[in-house]
Structure 1
Amino acid sequence: MTQRVDLSTVMDRLSIDAVITGYAVAVDDGAWPDYRALFTKEGRADYRTAGGIEGPAAEVAQWLSETMLLFPVRQHLIVNRRLDLQDLGGYPGDRARVQADYMNPMRLMSGPDGDPGSADRPTAPNFVSGGRYAFELLRTDDGWRIQGVTVHEKWRSLSDVLTAR
């Protein structure tokens, strides 16, 4: 490989990492237009192992926008990312796969008005799940985009909805 190819590969890896991070931030912040923008036009998402749906990214984003109302506080932690960039005889291709573990603590809605808590009545991170994402990405004219993501939930834990002081 030449230095130019090496640099291109590093730039691809950084760009792909930014897409994966953008995915977590979009879900956590409820930024559904940003979520949809991370996918190719034909992109799909599969949340069935976590009790969700599978389908085109736009439909899944709509489902997420409704479902995540139950969890006003979310924070994905995506770690142990293993990236396999397509190799075309020593040159990077236009496809990549990322396998990454996740842990996702969330707070359920509490109180009659849906307030997730206040200084005198906090909630605990009362729903936590973990597992592994499998991302398939394509290089597009707009940069790297998700062609597909599959959630492989391995575990979940529920705790008390409200923590008393």
Structure 2
Amino acid sequence: MTSISSAELQRLLDDRDIVAVATAYTWALDQHRWDGLRDVFTDDATATLGNPDRLVGIDAIIGRIRAALERLDDSQHLVGNHEVVVSGDTATHRCYLHAQHIRHGANGGPHYIVAGRYEDEMTRTGDGWRITHRNLQVMWTRGNTAVVRGDQ
């Protein structure tokens, strides 16, 4: 049996916990559990989520996400290919995402897909790892943008 050092064990635990934060984000979105995002971001977090406007604070982030997703009939946000780099109590994380959005009443069809990556800055808090800044880098989209714009 190979033993690992406490530093190696901590690195593995940090990697696991950071990926778990990224996954918790997707479940909160798809289940419309907006307050669940408070377990993902710090209170003073910032984000750029697919548009150039920088959101400041958890309430602004929740408001932007809620406005985009609440009217949908369903969504599915998948994340993978996680890369985590920890440096003490801070970390960077990035992963690919594939998000499907469905709104049956949308004029022009019910489907809109976004593919891209999340690029995160994170910090270790007393409650675990949290995102301090999230950047959504959209790589491509397909389908009807009216689905997420709310057009009838």
Match of 1:29 among 25, 28, 31: 31
Provide the residue aligned with 1:76 in structure 2.
77
Letter in 1 for 2:114: S
Give the letter aligned to residue 131 of structure 1: G
- Secondary structure of 1:102's counterpart equals strand
Measure, in 2, the Cα distance between the counterparts of 1:126 and 1:53.
27
Gaps of 5+ in 1: 87-92, 112-123
How far apart are residue 52 of structure 1 and its match? 6.8
Q: Output the CA distance in 2 between the equivalents of 1:66 and 1:17.
A: 25
Task: Quote the offset at 1:10 in angstroms.
Answer: 0.8
Asked if 1:62 corresponds to 2:57, the answer is: no
Q: TM-score when scaled to structure 1?
A: 0.77
Question: Of 108, 114, 136, which residue of structure 2 is paired with 1:151?
Answer: 136
Q: How far apart, in 2, do the equivalents of 1:52 and 1:26 lie?
A: 22
Aligned to 1:118: none
Which residue identity is paired with 1:5?
A
Unmatched 5+ stretches in structure 2: 147-152
CA distance in 1, matches of 2:72, 2:96: 21
Shift of residue 66, structure 1, vs aligned partner = 2.4
Q: Matches of 2:56 and 2:42 in 1, distance apart?
A: 13
The structural deviation recorded for 1:48 is: 3.9
The aligned length equals 141
Q: Secondary structure at the match of 1:7?
A: helix
Structure ID, larger Rg: 1
Instruction: Give the 3 Å change call, closer, same or farther, for CA 128–52 of structure 1 in structure 2.
Output: farther
Q: Which runs of 4+ in 1 moved over 6 A?
A: none
Amino acid at match of 1:16: I
Q: TM-score, normalised by structure 2?
A: 0.83
Decide whether the 8 Å contact of 2:104 with 2:110 is kept in 1: no
Give the 3-state SS of the residue equivalent to 2:70 in structure 1: helix
Paired-residue identity, %: 24
Cα deviation for residue 27 of structure 1 reads 1.1
